[in-house]
Structure 1
Amino acid sequence: MELQVNGARTFCYTGGKEFDPAKPTVVFIHGVLNDHSVWILQTRYFAHHGFNVLAPDLPGHCRSAGEPPRSVEEGADFILKLLDAAGVQQAALVGHSFGSLIALEAAARAPERISKLALVGTAFPMKVSPALLESSLSQPEKAIAMVNVFSLSMLAPPPSALGPGTWLYGGSRALMRRVLASNKEVNVFHRGFAACDSYAGGEEAMARVQCPVLFLLGRNDAMTPPKAAQALQAKARHAKTVVVEAGHQLMTEAPDATLFALKDFLGP
């Protein structure tokens, strides 16, 4: 599905189903140097069980045109305008890593439009080491290798994620290279990391969120350890926390546990 957002073509994966604005809608927001495909199992499930699914490629990433978000706030504005373009008055948001901060900020800016908020692999502050930030700009291949070491806690995913024999490290590196190469004008790797690193409004944003919140965290996450979500958890009014056996890439390392937690939170 393609929508015009901020005058640019935006691709949204809909889980293999036609979009119907009359149904409840869930928006899945990917993280840095990812695209809609990281949500493949979860989006297809919800699309085939009574929900609309919108899993966009963020602007300037892969199949979406436009200027990549320079900040979490720009990303949040994009998500709210995406809802406008789709004709959706209210939706649940599910965001991973950088996408979790975007979802949080969107829920704070328009609390009446967000029914539920799921923060996957989240942290605040989401600081990026100076070495990794610099490498993402000057030596992106080195940075991709570093991110995969810290993001993944297992070599191969369960069959329900990407199929038997899949190598998580290799698959993740290939995806990141593809996303980086999709934009010849802007280094979306460095821009995304810089946006995470500079975001300062997390606690204030959470204090303005009115909907139920799910913190879905990986026990072995070295990028955003579970304890790094405590500042947000302390500000959340109606929150639930689920910790699964995975690293940072929960959606492929623990696909079933991630799906079950989202299903329990979002409904049947």
Structure 2
Amino acid sequence: MPQLEVDGARLTYDDEGPRDGDGVPLVFVHGWTANRHRWDHQMEHFASERRVVRLDLRGHGESTGAGARTIEELANDVLALLDHLGIDRFVLVGHSMGGMISQTIALAHPERVERMVLVNSIGRMAYSRGRGLLMAASTLVPFRLFVAANIQRAFAPGYPREEIREYIRASAATPREVVMTLYSAMRAFDVLDRAGEIRVPTLMVHGYHDVQLPVKQMLRLAKGCPDAVIRILDAGHELPVEKPAELTATLDWFLSR
């Protein structure tokens, strides 16, 4: 797989699909402790007709490098990759923390973003009491148990346990320093008061059963975003893998509007 050296990190990425296909390239950005394979279904579907790029963020998946200190630093990594690939204008699709990265790029470089899709993402972190206690306990329990608790609650009730265990194993492979540094970065992320500055057509698609970042938090962002369209699907926080076909169909609908 191709890789790019960026500021002390080696980013692993996929760049597929026809260069002269319909529409500008799609850029998929995964979330906290995840990797680029969250987008397997969407990659397979869209790469048949247009250029599609996805990456493992630094410290995740098959990318190396210490965790970034801010969401802006992760956004700079994504932009460095796109510049390297010669992609000037694109559609951003970001899940959870990837949605925070996407918002950061759209606010800083609106001329480069044709459209944006935020999947289970928000404009300001506001953890529930339960999530706060879980994070506070992170220094007292084995790292794997901490990761397992976070991933377990990310899925809607009834999702197959054996599949959840696979995602727990993959997330636990993310270095603890990366996980905790980016947790702090997400807590510091706040663009809610700048929602009105997001002028690109934006789709906010969310899982109804998301307890990590509840729907009501997404609605706070949508309320201030002038070009937002909302879709709620029957899923939890891990919508890209819980309902991959439904998410892909929703993206198809949005891109064809």
TM-score (norm 1): 0.85
Q: Which residue of 2 aligns with 1:241?
A: 230
Distance 1:220 1:145 in 2: 18
8 Å contact kept, 2:66–2:177: no
Equivalence map 1:1-268=2 (5 Å): 1-6=2-7, 8-14=9-15, 17=16, 20=19, 24-48=24-48, 50-128=49-127, 129-137=131-139, 139=141, 140-156=143-159, 167-178=162-173, 180=174, 183=175, 187-204=177-194, 206-267=195-256
Shift of 1:79: 1.8
Q: State the alpha-carbon separation in 1 of the partners of residues 69 and 17 from structure 2.
A: 31
CA distance in 2, matches of 1:203, 1:264: 29
Which sits farther off after the overlay, 118-127 or 214-223? 118-127
When the two chains are superposed, the root-mean-square deviation of aligned CA atoms in Å is 2.2
3-state SS in 2 of match to 1:222: coil
Distance 2:150 2:46 in 1: 29
SS state of the match for residue 116, structure 2? strand
Counterpart contact for 1:21–1:86, Cα < 8 Å: no
DSSP 3-state at the match of 2:153 = helix
**Matched-pair contact (CA < 8 Å) for 1:116–1:211:** yes
1: CA distance, partners of 2:140 / 2:70: 20
Q: 1:190 corresponds to which letter in structure 2?
A: M
Report what 1:161 is aligned to.
Answer: none
Task: Read off the aligned partner of 1:227 and give its amino acid letter.
Answer: K
Q: How far apart, in 1, do the equivalents of 2:81 and 2:93 lie?
A: 14
Distance in 2, Cα, partners of 1:80 & 1:131: 35
CA distance in 2, matches of 1:138, 1:87: 46
Counterpart residue identity of residue 197, structure 2: R
The separation in 2 between residues aligned to 1:36 and 1:228, in whole angstroms, is 25
How many Å separate the matches in 1 of 2:237 and 2:62?
24
Cα 1:135–1:52 shift into 2, 3 Å: farther
For residues 87 and 7 of structure 1, what CA distance do their matches in structure 2 show?
21
Q: What SS does the aligned partner of 2:205 have?
A: strand
User: What is the deviation of 1:231?
Assistant: 2.0
Aligned partner letter, 1:150 = R
> 1:175 aligns to what SS in structure 2?
helix
Question: Mind listing any 5+ residue stretches in structure 2 that lack a counterpart?
Answer: none
Q: Contact (CA 8 Å) 2:67, 2:179: kept in 1 or not?
A: no
CA distance, structure 1, for counterparts of residue 185 and residue 71 of structure 2: 6
**Cα distance in 2 between the residues matched to 1:87 and 1:137:** 43
Cα distance in 2 for partners of 1:267, 1:244 equals 19
Ranges in structure 1 where 5+ consecutive residues have no aligned partner? 158-165
**Deviation for aligned residue 1:192:** 2.0
Give TM-score scaled by structure 2 length.
0.89
Residues 64, 145 of structure 1: alpha-carbon distance in 2 compared, 3 angstrom cutoff? closer
| 1:155 Cα deviation after fit | 4.0
Deviation per CA, 1:37-64: give whole Å up to 9, x if none.
Answer: 111101111111x221111100122322
Task: Summarize deviations over 1:90-139 as a string: whole Å, max 9, x none.
Answer: 01111111111110111100000011110000123223443333444553
Offset from partner CA, 1:145-181 (integer Å, 9 cap, x none)? 2212321114446xxxxxxxx8332121121122x2x
